[in-house]
Amino acid sequence: MLKKKLIVFLILTLSGSMVAQKIISKKMYEKYESYKIAQVDNKRFDHNFIMDQFQKLVKEKSIKVEQIGKSLQGRSINLFSVGNGDINILAWSQMHGDESTATMAILDILNFFTADDEFNDVRKLLLEKLTINFIPMLNPDGAEKFTRRNALQIDLNRDALRLQFPESQALKNVRDRINPQFGFNLHDQDQRYTAGNSYKSAALSFLAPAYNFEKDINPVRERTMKLIVKMYKELSEFIPGHIARYNDDFEPRAFGDNMVKWGTSSVLIESGGWKNNFEKQFIRKLNFISLMTAFYSIATENYSEETIQAYQAIPENDKLLFDLLLRNLTIEHNGKNYSIDVGINHKEKSSRNPRIDYYKSEIADIGDLSTFYGYSEYDCSGLTIHEGITEILDKAGIEEIKKLDFIEKYKQGIVAVKIINAKFENEFTEIPINIITRQKLNKGKIEIGETADFIIKSGNNVKYAVINGYLVDIEVNSISVRNALVD
Ligand SMILES: [Zn+2]
């Protein structure tokens, strides 16, 4: 009898926590904007700026902070903590300097913990059960230039064995001191990853990293898998089909893999792509929800009801997206016609000032791309593809170029203008035509790896111009070229 009562009680509390969690994450999703630190709205921030934002929270809202190290170039690496619970959690972001999405989310989470509102019960529970430690921007020197590696060109996620660099040492020392049961290794991935064999971008990918080449599952890894299932289920309410499982090949030099070896159930979160979300502000919100979901699940231990099988059923990361996919173009060669698809990617580049980005678009693939998808797609059936023309303009200055009739130029097949030896401040231009300053360079080739500048015709008339990978419809009187290039 007693046994039966106990079972009924267990079932009630378990399913109760499931229901509660769903309601909480839905409410948080709705209320997120009130925790978001609005001053940060661009992913290319530097150490000074973002640490000011963190220090403001420390000052105004009494969050604990401790400097745990200095980067090679002397920038501070800081640990921010909330809670007094027995379960220790360690989350670190921007180990790769150009992967900043989670750093923004951590700021919002700390802000959440100091608010006073309808979530007070949740806060109380989390702060009593957990001590949550954050290291935002582990690689401030890389962040300064918005590049992956540290100041000595080291990928810190390959320094977990040698532990030579101060950034890696800071992370390892904190891990050893607090011995966290759970870790969160926060990164960004290529926006063209998809969730399995689908057209849906992998907005988030999760991984329970392996700790050996055999990919064995020990209790530390198993706990990670179960927690991920919880996060996956919760997040699927908001972005169904947009979550994937990251490749679990063992990397002996990586931190995530070693954390598991050292006894920390460490979850990798990769922030991926979302259509027209260049600053990743929506993915930042998803990070916020993912981490809060995980914290709640750890505090209530409700992840233990999940299974390894459910983890393995999460679709794997695939890479089936182009930024622009032009389907069913016709190309002529020696009097014969062939049908091709063209996949184009807009590659984000840092300009001389790393806070300013621009896009260089390349032809990534040509051929039968019927098994791929595009963030933007066009069916070009009945249309033909042609090389673009570079026009030589003698002695024209920037002002004259600005005054050109671009639509007229596109109609003539022109995708670039050449002014030799002219000096330009930037590698890109907001003028919707490429500018070439070198004698020998021409644009307009239809080749893999070339910049995507060509012409699409309907019969003898130009229908579309592709300028630096951006499609311009000649009949529509607005030109939406984000930037063209100066070479
Ligand atoms: Zn990374």
Hey, where are the domains in the chain? 24-318, 321-485
Amino acid 225 reads M
Q: Which CATH architecture has domain 24-318?
A: 3-Layer(aba) Sandwich (3.40)
The 10s digit of each residue's pLDDT in 43-59 is 999 999 999 999 999 98
Ligand 1 centroid to 476 CA: how many Å?
Answer: 40
Strands lying side by side in the sheet with 182-188: 64-70, 76-82, 130-135, 87-93, 182-188, 265-271, 204-207, 243-245
Comparing CA positions, the residue from 407, 405, 416, 390 lying closest to residue 464 is 407
Ligand 1 centroid to 187 CA: how many Å?
Answer: 4
Ligand 1 centroid to 62 CA: how many Å?
Answer: 30
pLDDT tier at 12, thresholds 50, 70, 90: very low
Over 70: is that where the pLDDT of 16 sits?
Answer: no
The 10s digit of each residue's pLDDT in 114-172 is 999 999 999 999 999 999 999 999 999 999 999 999 999 999 999 999 999 999 999 99
Same fold, 24-318 and 321-485: no
1-10, 14-23, 185-194, 350-359, range with the lowest pLDDT: 1-10
pTM: 0.93
Over 60: is that where the pLDDT of 5 sits?
Answer: no
Ligand 1 centroid to 25 CA: how many Å?
Answer: 26
pLDDT score, position 17: 66
Ligand 1 centroid to 127 CA: how many Å?
Answer: 29
pLDDT tier at 203, thresholds 50, 70, 90: very high
Residues 6+ apart with CB under 8 A from 10: none
Main-chain dihedrals φ then ψ at residue 115, nearest 5 degrees:
-80, 170
The 10s digit of each residue's pLDDT in 354-386 is 999 999 999 999 999 999 999 999 999 999 999
14-28, 162-176, 292-306, 335-349, range with the lowest pLDDT: 14-28
Over 50: is that where the pLDDT of 11 sits?
Answer: no
The 10s digit of each residue's pLDDT in 207-231 is 999 999 999 999 999 999 999 999 9
Pairing mode, strands 182-188 and 265-271: parallel
Structure tokens at 435: 């500018």
Main-chain dihedrals φ then ψ at residue 209, nearest 5 degrees:
-60, 150
Ligand 1 centroid to 406 CA: how many Å?
Answer: 40
Topology of the domain comprising 321-485: Urease, subunit C; domain 1 (2.30.40)
Ligand 1 centroid to 269 CA: how many Å?
Answer: 9
Ligand 1 centroid to 188 CA: how many Å?
Answer: 6
